[in-house]
Amino acid sequence: MGEIMATASAAGIEAMGFHGPTHYVDMAELAVARDVEPAKYTKGIGQTQMAVATPCEDTVTMATMAARKALHAFDIDPADIGTLIVGTETGVDHSKPVAVYVHELLGLKSNCRTFETKHACYGAMAGLTSATDWIMAGRARGRKALIVASDIARYGLRTAGEPTQGAGAVAMVVSDTPSLLRFDADVMGDYTRQVMDFWRPLYSKYAFADGHYSIQCYLDAFTGAFEDACSKVDDPQRFALDQLDAAFYHVPFVKMARKAHHRHWEAQLGEIGEAQLPAIAESFEQLVAPWLSLNAVVGNIYTGSLFLALMDYLRSGDAARAGKQVSLFSYGSGCGAAFALGHVGDSAHESAPLLDPQAELDNRVRLAIDEYETLTRATEDADSNEAPDPDPAQWNHSDGLFYVGTREHVRRYEML
């Protein structure tokens, strides 16, 4: 007889880690350089700093370093990882997945299934839900899944999208002992529709976008995913805003979270009148705004933006949060979305110091605008076979994992 698999009673996030570029740009300085009022960037879209990747930092290096931090900080043996999924929309190869590079660089076992998921900014959530299903179905057999969201948002110098760039990776270990966050696996809401709101053809390094249309697609997707989640339970009050300790949304720029929260109210209550606007504003300040500080200084990291806000929340928790319910909404252009509920782990507050990337962020190098422009131009062809090998020392890299050039069409990485 075949082996009988025991299903897991719970699944969720056991560990998290963040890694971002070593350089950043001050958004007020960028605004002045672009003849724009600084408030348009700092208040209009809510960004104060923007992470900038050097030619030696890519999706692979950031994913690997974020994963190493999560495994090390939470004392997880790489041999226990049975599934590795990297969600990204900025891969390094049209065929070869980022995940297999990460698999090798982490030293994972050969029987660890490994793949990449792509659906714009929804890719990591797709991987996360797949891993949760894998565990709940009993196929994990005690092993854990490693999900990494890693991206570089690039739109080019002096483009409309320039102030919404960013880069970074968030790694999450998913298991049947979810000490940080347990998912309600039975109430996931989904939404998919083919739209041309944001895309990047195979021949282009930069994305194309219909900005206003994309915002509307995002909001419509929220309504669709929320309604689908509500349809799967007997009591939709489980999703009521007054039942939440925090609400997390995909954050391509900080101000988008405010628009999303307004739609959350509309999806729950129907048409909103002027009299309800103060209550919506108060709700936003309580449930959303406190957990956007990391997004504001890192910028858009596509697949990882939602989970960076979750890290912000978990790094500041205390014992009183144990068991509290939170919501998570993921949106990926094109488009796909999901709405989920989770509950804070009983011991999550004990791990708060392990989740805080503030020291790393404080040690970043601030770029003058001319330095930022030089660096950005240098990244445009750094990964081509004909380009000179990028030198980590040129960009003041002293330790970590870095991309060091392509020879005979083979990418190479080096640990300093």
Question: For residue 119, what are the CA distances in angstroms to 116, 123, 148, 278?
Answer: 10, 5, 14, 35
3-state secondary structure (DSSP) of residue 206: coil
Residue 106's contacts (CB-CB under 8 Å, 6 or more residues apart) are 64, 67, 68, 71, 78, 81, 84, 146
**CA torsion, ordered 241, 243, 257, 74, to nearest 10 deg:** -170
Positive or negative: CA dihedral 288, 293, 296, 301: negative
Residue 67 phi, psi (nearest 5): -65, -45
Of 304, 296, 253, nearest to 151 (Cα)?
304
Q: Which residues are catalytic?
A: 89, 121, 250
Residue 38, both tokens: 């600084």
User: CA 281 to CA 258: how far, in whole Å?
Assistant: 9
Tell the burial category of 189 from Cβ atoms under 10 Å away from its Cβ (0-12, 13-18, 19+).
buried
User: CA 45 to CA 63: how far, in whole Å?
Assistant: 26
Q: Which residues pair with 23 in a beta bridge?
A: 52, 365
For the CA atoms of the chain, what is the radius of gyration?
21
Positive or negative: CA dihedral 175, 328, 357, 122: positive
Q: At what angle do helices 98-106 and 59-73 cross, to 10 degrees?
A: 40
Number of residues assigned to the chain: 416
